[in-house]
Amino acid sequence: MKRDNATYGVDLVLGGGGARGFAHVGVLEVLWDGGVPVRSIIGASAGALAGGAFAAGLTPDRMRAKVIEYAGSHLARDAKLRSLVTSSENGSASSLVDKVGRLFVQSWLLRSFLMGPSVMGGQFFQESVDFFLPDARIEDLPLPFACVATDVHSGEPVVFDRGPLRKAVLASSAVPGIAPLVNVGGRWLMDGGVACLIPTACARRRGHEKIVAVNVDRDVFSDGIPDQALETYLRAGEIQSYHLARRMLRDADLVIEPDVGEVHWADFMAGELLMERGRAATRPALEQVRALLRPESPWRRVKKALGFAS
């Protein structure tokens, strides 16, 4: 099926966030049920997976069913994946056995980070991508779609708007250290969220005008104090990423932010909760989304051209 080349609708920018990307499905459900046309989608990491499925023709209802099926599958229950969730849990009120167990898991994870190319290996990510996406080429999708990966050598974002859909999304969602690097056309690539967690700037450069960005990253606030050097280092990275993401969101005409901050990025068993959070965040924003599609007055267009209106 060829793309429709729609000229009317919102341009969706779907950000990364691991399992929290399931909230994108809830967002799409509300937009779909509300009759909001989508003109194009560009995504990074988890946003590439959700956006790619929708652009390939899956309805939000079908996507929801796929998420529920995935959440109960062997992929979401993978022991290595669950250990990532367990290792980050707050153990202040846990038993001694729980604390010893977490220490063991953290030691195993540290060895995996130091000794191998990735914690999870490539099979998990490939199976996950294949589960959600058809074997298709991006340029043949019904809806214009692009996704972003990060070039390991240059550090620059790499935008895929043609070529094999699964390969592009696999590169876009290759979580650093957790997934192996992906080679595409001789370039080694990692998760698009590294260079461009919410690719609004990429959307603007592609001429998209009515941008609705969906941010599923966690909030920066934490009531804990890091007590290990590695925790402090990782916390600094979280803060840095948060502020970079806030800058990227300034390029959007409207931002939708589901309340998903307490869900670990690797908790793919929380699919139903995450989709509901996406729906809850989008319902009150629906009229604002519709307002973006109303024709602008000539005077407002002049003000925007002169830089006096956003």
State the catalytic residues. Answer: 45, 191
Length of the chain: 310
Q: Cβ(197)–Cβ(44) under 8 Å?
A: yes
Rounded Cα gap, residues 171 and 178, in angstroms: 13
Backbone angles phi, psi at 162, to 5 degrees: -160, 165
Rounded Cα gap, residues 29 and 22, in angstroms: 11
Alpha helical stretches, state H, the chain: 23-33, 46-55, 60-71, 79-87, 96-115, 122-132, 165-172, 193-196, 200-205, 229-249, 271-282, 286-292, 298-305
Q: For residue 177, give every residue at least 6 positions away whose Cβ sits within 8 Å of its Cβ, in sequence order, or none.
A: 113, 118, 119
Strands 145-151 and 38-44, by their bridges, are: parallel
Nearest to 161, CA basis, from 43, 304, 295, 302? 43
The dihedral over CA atoms of 57, 61, 67, 72, expressed in degrees to the nearest 10, equals -130
Rounded Cα gap, residues 291 and 266, in angstroms: 35
Rounded Cα gap, residues 288 and 266, in angstroms: 32
Nearest to 37, CA basis, from 144, 162, 159? 144
Q: Cβ(47)–Cβ(258) under 8 Å?
A: no
